[in-house]
Structure 1
């Protein structure tokens, strides 16, 4: 119960300001057909059009570009109309209807094109009273869908770029926050991970938004360059944090610490200004700050040559300066691109196929189909008109994960109780269609306004909406309200039974493959660092990230199984894998190794071998091989850095301070790479230890 209460608090928390304008628009589109039907004496037709509009806007996604929204709305209207037609066709054959609706529900769980509104349309229409011909009902349904589509898209010519700008601003702002965090005193792992995750998520959202706009070929390349530039800032920011932590450990009281804070603040401020105001307003100040840090770095280098400061500190600060230079150049590039802007003319929406899987697999479609078929069969035996409340509750509440089903059932029960009681109170105080329309409009306004910011409020207000629309021509009293709540509770109970008994545990079995894939992908990433091929390294970072994400997803699903609990060590392994990728990016940012760079390659090979050995042990169940002495290699690396530092200082004393000698190249790599190599090896061994088979 405590977990359910916590989940409910999260579901009713507001993530942002409700979209009152959108809610008002949806309420208007739903209520207009109802008002027209009541005034003209065609109440049934008005309710059918309003239901068609509701089912269509149910499939809307307000954050998408208008072209993608138009495609989604029109496709939803089409599928809802076909669902209405199928629902009326099977009305004369109840037992056939039970099987057909179950098959449609299962198909909707497999193919995204058969969406929830289409399945709801079949179910609600089957239980709707006869009275309209099939062509008339389908025509009225599609008319309601087209009406709400037109209202949603009416502002398309003037607001077509808003999702693009919003995605761009959010990605740039999240990146600026991450940059500030990288240059300040080290944050906790939780805070850093939160900022990093936000930066990755908003970057992915921006990439999706950009891909959905039809622009000229030149502008398309500009958008790609913009995304590439933001990705470069992200990688350099990750490297900056690793290097800063290492430099602070070597020289915690250095004057450079405060100057670095000011520089990252200036760069972050310039980046925010570029993405929000669209121009290089504060870029010169940021570049001046980078210049001041470069001057201070030069002072530290001269002090190191005079043996007043450890040479590795000067090398680390030199690498930090190079990171800041690259970030500053990228910020200036973004400001120039933002100032030029990308123009998208008021063309018709693009109707390309969506970039997503065509189908999904697993036991859930079969489970959902069986549950809906049984619900239909039980309700056919009762011959109760309100039976659709039972069937619809099973349909929308049964989720792939058991705990998600529990949450859906709980929220749907609350929503049905509130909606049914509210409708009964309204009609008891002031009976008639006019007041019921007002209540429906209020539910639509609140439901769609809260849809994007609170799942709890959306469910509470939207749950009874479709069923009130389908029952619009029927008398609604306290008896009907009690029947609705009772049938909803019963439907929720049936959904819980199916979620609990049919294939409730499936994700523990998939963990082994996900662990092996994560280990192998990260081993391949470490091996790619030996060749220093940046393109290959970045590709393998992406693949390793995808593998770790799939492992985390399996752990999340395991937590939602009955009695399931994801092992904390595997949660920690996902975190360790993320740190391996971060340190790989930091290592990629430092100068390439040379002959004087010591055991870098040997250390990377050792780490990759260890990850591959653990992956093989997990896959086969064989005993794990004895680990190499990693600490010894790290000690050797430290001693190598000290030897190079002494040799470089001897060169400086002989007058080679400004010459790029082999020793200088060696110390530039070894001293800058040492913290990243140390952290990478430590986290990789932690990843191996956390995922190794338990004896």
Structure 2
């Protein structure tokens, strides 16, 4: 219960800035038909048109490019229109309607294109007062959807690139925050993970936005280069943090940390300026700060040649400098591309590509269909118009996870109480449709403004909207308000009953397969580092990250099951997997040794073998194979570094201080790779131990 209360409190936290302009357009699309219906004496028609627009806007996603938004809104208009026609068609046949609405709800659970707004359209139209023919009802609903689509996309010619630019701006800003943190004194893992996840999410959103745009071929290539450059900054920044932490633990002193902090901060500032203002004025100063850090590293390297500093530590700082150099070049590239910009002629937005149908799996669609059918059957005996609130509550409240259902029921009941009481007060103080329209407008403005910032507030204001719109032409009083709240509570109770009794647990069975997948993908990532083929390593990084996300998603869903609780050791395994990937990126940034075999390849092979053995043990529930002597190989790597350092000092004494010899290349690789390999091995062993079968 405590977790549910905490989740409800979290639903009312504002996670972003309210979208007032967007909410005003939505309110206009809802209220215009209502005003026209009242003024022309066609109140039911105006309410049906407003309800069509309201249900259509459920399919909108303001952050998407306009072509994709147009496709989604038009598909939503079509599905809501078909739903209203079906609802009107089954009005004369109550028992048939009970089965049909249940089947539509189940189909919506299996096929996302039949959205919840389509199911609501069927149910609300069935319970609406008769008076319009099926074609008339469909035409009015379609008009409401098209009006809303026109209002939301009307500013397309002057704002056509805003979603794309916003996505890249947010990605660049998040990367700048991450870069600034990487250059400072090490943050806690929790703080770093928050910044890292924000950067990864923003970069994924930018990639998704880019994939939905079709501009000129030249600009397509420019955006591809920009996306690749931002991805490179992310990888180098993660590597920078790992290497910086390792360098801070050596005996090389701390004088260099201030220069590194200054250089990372300057690069972060230049990146923010490039993505937000489209300028490059800060790049020269940032590169100058990078140059000063390089000078300090060069001083340490020369001191190491004379015994004033450990040579492996100096080589490790050299790798930190190379990471910073690559980030600096990437930031300069971003600034240049930002200045050039992307221009598109004012042609019509292209619709998103047709996709193959996507079907959901699991028991939830069947559970939803059965619950809605039972709700319809129970309400058929009442012959009461307000019975729809029992059915609608079941439709919108029953979620795949039990805890999510509880939250929906609580929020829906609160929203119904607010809406019913508010409407009764409005009509008691100042009776008339125009005063009710004002109340609807206020709910629409507040609800849609907070839709993307707070799910709790959105539900509180969205529930009265659907309630008022579907009952706009009916008399409202305190008795009606009480009936609505009572039926909403009863519908919530039925939803909770089905969520609790029918297939409430299912994620624990998926954990084993997803754990095996996560271990296998991370083993493949580790093995790909041996050859260090850039395309292969990046592909394996993406696959390993996706596998860890799926495993984490199963843990989150397990927490929402009745009495469910994800074991902490499995949560820790997700953290270990993320740290393993961070160390893999650090090792990927290190120049290769040039050796086909050696300590580095041996360590990576043994780590991959360990992960694969544990994956097989988890999948087959058999004891894992005996482990290799990984610690011994790591000790050999340390001894190898010491031998290379001694040989390099001999070369320096012979006058080869500035020559790129095989020994120098070897010490550059081994000294920088050693901390990354140790970190990677430690996290791999931790990941294996946390996911291994319990005896």
Aligned position for 1:556? 556
Contact persistence 1:394–1:492 (CA under 8 A)? yes
Equivalent residues in 2 for 1:17-416, closer than 5 Å? 17-251=17-251, 253-353=253-353, 358-416=358-416
What's the CA shift for 1:253? 3.2
Aligned position for 1:423? 423
Contact persistence 2:514–2:550 (CA under 8 A)? yes
Contact persistence 1:596–1:663 (CA under 8 A)? no
Q: Could you tell me how far apart the structure 2 residues matched to 1:15 and 1:594 are?
A: 49
Aligned residues: 695
Deviations 1:393-429 (A, max 9, x none): 0000000111000100010010001101111111111
Aligned position for 1:639? 639
Q: Could you tell me how far apart the structure 2 residues matched to 1:565 and 1:290 are?
A: 48
Q: Could you tell me how far apart the structure 2 residues matched to 1:514 and 1:394 are?
A: 32
Q: Which moved further from structure 2: 365-374 or 627-636?
A: 627-636
The unaligned stretches of length 5 or more in structure 1 are: none
What's the CA shift for 1:628? 2.0
Contact persistence 2:252–2:309 (CA under 8 A)? no
Q: Could you tell me how far apart the structure 2 residues matched to 1:178 and 1:669 are?
A: 26
Contact persistence 2:252–2:310 (CA under 8 A)? no
Q: Could you tell me how far apart the structure 2 residues matched to 1:368 and 1:403 are?
A: 16
Contact persistence 1:598–1:640 (CA under 8 A)? no
Aligned position for 2:626? 626
SS of structure 2 residue aligned to 1:197: helix
Q: Could you tell me how far apart the structure 2 residues matched to 1:609 and 1:380 are?
A: 63
SS of structure 1 residue aligned to 2:359: coil
What's the CA shift for 1:357? 6.5
Equivalent residues in 2 for 1:579-658, closer than 5 Å? 579-595=579-595, 598-658=598-658
What's the CA shift for 1:585? 1.0
Q: Could you tell me how far apart the structure 2 residues matched to 1:624 and 1:67 are?
A: 52
Contact persistence 1:214–1:344 (CA under 8 A)? no
Q: Could you tell me how far apart the structure 1 residues matched to 2:570 and 2:356 are?
A: 28
Contact persistence 2:87–2:121 (CA under 8 A)? yes
Q: Could you tell me how far apart the structure 1 residues matched to 2:149 and 2:183 are?
A: 47
Q: Could you tell me how far apart the structure 2 residues matched to 1:53 and 1:306 are?
A: 77
What's the CA shift for 1:597? 8.2
What's the CA shift for 1:478? 0.7
Q: Could you tell me how far apart the structure 2 residues matched to 1:503 and 1:4 are?
A: 20
Compared CA separation, residues 17 and 95, structure 1 to 2 (3 A)? same
Q: Could you tell me how far apart the structure 2 residues matched to 1:587 and 1:394 are?
A: 52
What's the CA shift for 1:16? 2.0
SS of structure 2 residue aligned to 1:508: helix
Q: Could you tell me how far apart the structure 1 residues matched to 2:520 and 2:154 are?
A: 51
What's the CA shift for 1:517? 0.7
Compared CA separation, residues 354 and 329, structure 1 to 2 (3 A)? farther
Equivalent residues in 2 for 1:488-527, closer than 5 Å? 488-527=488-527
Q: Could you tell me how far apart the structure 2 residues matched to 1:166 and 1:633 are?
A: 49
Q: Could you tell me how far apart the structure 2 residues matched to 1:192 and 1:363 are?
A: 38
Deviations 1:265-304 (A, max 9, x none): 1111111111011121110111111111111111111100
SS of structure 1 residue aligned to 2:508: coil
Q: Which moved further from structure 2: 544-553 or 51-60?
A: 51-60
Deviations 1:192-233 (A, max 9, x none): 111110000000011111122220111111111110000011
What's the CA shift for 1:354? 6.1
What's the CA shift for 1:553? 0.5
Q: Could you tell me how far apart the structure 2 residues matched to 1:288 and 1:206 are?
A: 30
Contact persistence 1:597–1:667 (CA under 8 A)? no
Aligned position for 2:464? 464
What's the CA shift for 1:610? 0.6
What's the CA shift for 1:254? 2.7
Contact persistence 1:596–1:662 (CA under 8 A)? no
SS of structure 2 residue aligned to 1:609: helix
What's the CA shift for 1:60? 1.4
What's the CA shift for 1:629? 2.3
What's the CA shift for 1:595? 4.1
Q: Could you tell me how far apart the structure 1 residues matched to 2:318 and 2:464 are?
A: 64
SS of structure 2 residue aligned to 1:63: coil
SS of structure 2 residue aligned to 1:28: helix
Q: Could you tell me how far apart the structure 2 residues matched to 1:325 and 1:356 are?
A: 44
What's the CA shift for 1:2? 2.7
SS of structure 2 residue aligned to 1:509: helix
SS of structure 1 residue aligned to 2:657: coil
Q: Could you tell me how far apart the structure 2 residues matched to 1:349 and 1:299 are?
A: 57
Compared CA separation, residues 226 and 596, structure 1 to 2 (3 A)? closer
